[in-house]
Amino acid sequence: MISLGDRVRMDKETKRCRTLLFRYLLIPLLGVNLLANSCGRREKKPLDESPLAVTSRGEEETLEIVTWNIENFPLAGQTTVREVQQIIESLDVDLFAVQEVSDTVAFRQLLRGLEEYEGLYSNDDYGEWYQKTGVIYKEGLISIENVGQIFTNDSYAFPRPPLQMTVVAQNDGKMFDFRLIVIHLKAGADSVDLRRRREAAQKLKEYIDSQVASSAEKDFVVAGDWNDRIDDPPDENAFTVFIEDSLNYRFLTSPLTKDPHLTSYPRYSSLIDHILISRDAFDEYTGGKTTTLRLDDEIFNYLQQVSDHRPVMAKFPVF
């Protein structure tokens, strides 16, 4: 893991100039792409004259983490860019872990239109058609450090190497810092696909276990498209290694499996997008809540113009 160094809160104009120079010169060497806009003030792109009617989910007292597969972004070109921008601003949540960024130019355009957010995407690539992972986060609340990718040479278990970073969230004198891992595991329903997801879970758990044992940072949050259910029977379950170690790991999405209304992948009525936390993050989640955001109930043609996945959100009452 290569550290990007501590980010210091500074005057907004000065910060943008310094950050832009740093990112253009150094980041390509570190295996990620951080997105900056300009050395001047960020210009908010005008929204559509008829903004989407999406209910805000952000709260002052909680840190909201959303995992969201944005399906080959942008699914419907500029319509998708505009609608995702409106959704993010309307939801007003703190951090999005995203999957399936297929067009990085469109993703940068999306970020330029978001006044309060910054973002980054992974640097992995296996050809002309690719689905990157990334994050979008509130810049006034969250800082990102130590960005990189893991399992970059293990395409069998991880066809898309997980994106990892340290997240520091601070508000009203209170802080929650943790290691975030964004994943997009192997899709598919045959036995080989299941075996690859199972191997990914085993290796991911071994990695986190070793990091917890040897590192000062012991709070882990793993968010993403796991491409499988967590309520399958043991012989069909890819994630038994985490589920059986309930002393040290918890799927925050586990309660959602009891309500078919809260599936994250409507096409097959499945909950396959999950948020997992390690033991040291249990206290920060005490009193928290996780739910699926049924944006297709609020947005006409959401499944055709935005994504075939619904976002899944966890709220940590840390502020």
pLDDT in tens, 179-215: 999 999 999 999 999 999 999 999 999 999 999 999 8
Under 8 Å between Cβ of 204 and 183 = yes
Among the ranges given (67-81, 124-138, 165-179), the one the predictor scored with the smallest mean pLDDT = 124-138
Give the per-residue pLDDT at 112.
97
- Report, as an integer, the average pLDDT of 69-84: 97
Determine what percent of the chain is predicted with pLDDT higher than 90: 80
Give the per-residue pLDDT at 216.
84
pLDDT in tens, 279-297: 999 999 999 999 999 999 9
pLDDT in tens, 90-104: 999 999 999 999 999
Q: Locate tokens 């570190």: which residue?
A: 30
Under 8 Å between Cβ of 30 and 167 = no
- What interhelical angle do 78-91 and 104-112 show, nearest 10? 40
Q: How confident is the model at residue 32 (pLDDT cuts 50, 70, 90)?
A: low
pLDDT in tens, 108-131: 999 999 999 999 999 988 666 789
Work out the mean pLDDT of the chain and round it to a whole number: 87
Q: What share of the chain is helix, strand, coil (3-state, %, to 5)?
A: 30, 30, 40
Amino acid at 254: S
pLDDT in tens, 221-260: 999 999 999 999 999 999 999 999 999 999 999 999 999 9
The domain spans of the chain are 12-37+60-316
CATH class of 12-37+60-316: alpha beta
Query: Can you say how many angstroms the Cα of residue 15 is from the centroid of all Cα atoms in its chain?
Result: 24
Backbone angles phi, psi at 83, to 5 degrees: -70, -40
Under 8 Å between Cβ of 102 and 129 = yes
Say yes or no to pLDDT of 14 above 90.
no
Say yes or no to pLDDT of 158 above 80.
yes
Under 8 Å between Cβ of 117 and 111 = yes
The pTM for the full model equals: 0.86
Dist. CA 208–CA 285, nearest whole Å: 19
Under 8 Å between Cβ of 73 and 105 = no
C-alpha separations of 247 from 51, 221, 244 in Å? 45, 15, 8
Radius of gyration of the chain (CA): 18
